[in-house]
Amino acid sequence: MIWRWLAVLIAVAGIALGAGAWYALQLLEPASHDADSESTIFEVTRGKGLNQIAVELESQGLIRSALALKVLARTRSNDAKPMAGEYELNPTWSARTILARITSGRVVTYEVVLPEGIRANEIAKRLAAAGLADADAFLAATEDAEFTRSLGIDADRLEGYLYPETYRLPRGLTPKEIARVLVQQFEQVWAEVPSANSPLSKHEIVTLASIVEKETAAPEERPLIASVFLNRLDRGMRLETDPTVIYGIEDFDGNIKKKHLRDRSNPYNTYRIKGLPPGPIASPGFDALMAVVKPAESQYLYFVSRNDGTHQFSETYREHVNAVNHFQLRRRNR
């Protein structure tokens, strides 16, 4: 008789365990079976534990049970820990799939296009517009001399070393982490620049390349523009380039005046200072860097805009004056 009752108890316990296991498995099933369910962005913030994350997932209808997810996580390896960032999740995914996603680091990224010749303050605005960083905080990071040198840059600021490229970045990075990504991209590109034979230092090359970048929108002209500036430097002539002057003017309104060209207090006024300005005035791309280390062979000392995106180059001042009269003064008098 006792054995019968024991067998019955065992059978009941087995059924209960089976039912419990079945129920537990059901809790790991998708929260929704609606094929039209839309994905949502779920953020795992830094320092947040699995318990809180699981509760938030359940409250947002992305999983059936926070408890079931926590139990599932305990059966996984210690590496299965949520990683900070934004994740695209769908309620039609199982709890296993959702756990795998938030522990994978496959976060949502956002595209930011940084064109050649962009300045650090303009980069800051684009990052802010994409919701990736506070503009002021990012700009402050680029002007942090200690941080700049910690990245291996022999300068006081990162202007010129934030490589222009199309990036896909996740939200949650600090301004310095973003700056580090851009500088690392610069260093990768710099490794392809044959700078060993240049008489200029790395900082001087980047500085001159940034000026070349701002002086022309015609790629084929970059080596010629670089040759003009290098020829002027070799002869001890001032560079006399408007983009550097503009860079040193606070709140420039788009109209460069004679007083700006005469301003001796502007350290970037190459109409007054000799040699290169203190540092880059924008982010040069690979072609501009290459133009400086491999310039065109020329005797040109001057150039003036043809008003079509290209320039007229001259070897003598007389030729230059004639070109200015032809392309600039005649146009103004029309």
Q: Give me the pLDDT at residue 161, please.
A: 98
Token representation of residue 35: 């094929």
Q: Give me the pLDDT at residue 17, please.
A: 47
Question: Over 50: is that where the pLDDT of 11 sits?
Answer: no
What do you get for the CA distance between the two ends of the chain, in Å?
Answer: 118
Q: Which residue segments constitute the domains of the chain, with CATH numbers given?
A: 33-107 (3.30.1490.480), 109-190 (no CATH), 202-300 (no CATH)
207 vs 196, higher pLDDT? 207
With CA atoms as reference, report the closest residue to 309 among 252, 209, 225: 225
Q: Which residue's structure tokens are 């070799």? A: 234
Question: Over 50: is that where the pLDDT of 136 sits?
Answer: yes
Question: Over 50: is that where the pLDDT of 79 sits?
Answer: yes
Average pLDDT, the chain: 89
- Position 16 confidence tier, pLDDT thresholds 50, 70, 90: very low
- Position 122 confidence tier, pLDDT thresholds 50, 70, 90: very high
| 227-286 pLDDT tens trace | 999 999 999 999 999 999 999 998 888 888 889 989 899 999 999 999 999 999 999 999
Question: Over 80: is that where the pLDDT of 14 sits?
Answer: no
